[in-house]
Amino acid sequence: MWFGDASLSQIREYRARLEELTKEAQEKKERNDTLYAEVKDLRKGLETIEERARYELGMIKENETFFQVLE
């Protein structure tokens, strides 16, 4: 009961590790859900693709004027 594989301290360690793993799994699930929603949006329409191209690649359409505001 006090020493060995089924000791109280061992059980506490297992429970703490289980809580850590559960929290980590939940965080990864939330991240996967976010990525899934993003993929779904990308498959749906060009607006999302255009938005990402503007933000990540600096895309500017023909006949648009680009203004950069410096603070």
Report if residue 46 sits inside a domain. Answer: yes
47: tokens are 């607006």
Give how many domains the chain has, as a whole number. Answer: 1
What are the residue ranges in the chain where pLDDT is below 50? none
The count of residues in the chain is 71
DSSP type of residue 58: -
Cα separation of the two ends of the chain: 66
- What is the model's pLDDT at position 8? 84
Report if residue 33 sits inside a domain. Answer: yes
Report which of 71, 41, 47 is spatially closest to residue 61, judged by C-alpha positions.
Answer: 47
Q: What residue numbers bound the domain in which 26 lies?
A: 22-57
Q: Model's pTM, two decimal places?
A: 0.52
Report if residue 39 sits inside a domain. Answer: yes
